[in-house]
Structures are given as structure tokens and as C-alpha cells.
Amino acid sequence: MPYTTIDDLPDSVKDNLPKHAQEIYKEAFNSAYDQYKAPQDRHSDSDREETAHKVAWSAVKNKYEKQKDGHWGLKN
């Protein structure tokens, strides 16, 4: 189900990502959730929500990376 605000995101996202990364995650998730409605549009046997989560994490990883201290920071 799409997320209305970043407060609605899963705890695993809210507890680990900075606010800007959470916003990226939310927007990417919602877009992918709409884009991959039909099972034939997905590249695997994943359900719609699982696919959207994968896309959202990928979008975050385009701009952020996990630092040595375990926190997420912008890529250099």
C-alpha cells in the first residue's frame, strides 16, 4: 500500500535513514507500487509490495551509502 507521509514508512526505514533518504524511499516506493500493478510487469515472482520495496531501496542506494559507522550518508 502506498505511503502518504514518511511517518507511515516501516520502522526499518525510519530508524535507519536520514529524512531526505526517507523521502526518496517514499516517492520511489509509491511510484513503483503504481508502475508494477500487473504481475507481468514485474521481473520476478515477487508480489507488488515486495517489488516496490526493492525499487525504493535501490533508489536510496543511488544517492546514499552505508558508512563504516553503520549510518547512511550521501555518496561522495
**CATH classification of 8-74 is 1.10.1740.70, yes or no?**
yes
Whether the predicted pLDDT of 24 surpasses 90: yes
CA distances from 2 to 8, 33, 64 (A): 9, 7, 22
37-69 pLDDT, tens digit per residue, is 887 777 777 899 999 999 999 999 999 999 999
**All structural domains of the chain with their residue ranges:** 8-74
pTM of the model: 0.89
Q: Cα–chain-centroid distance for residue 56?
A: 2
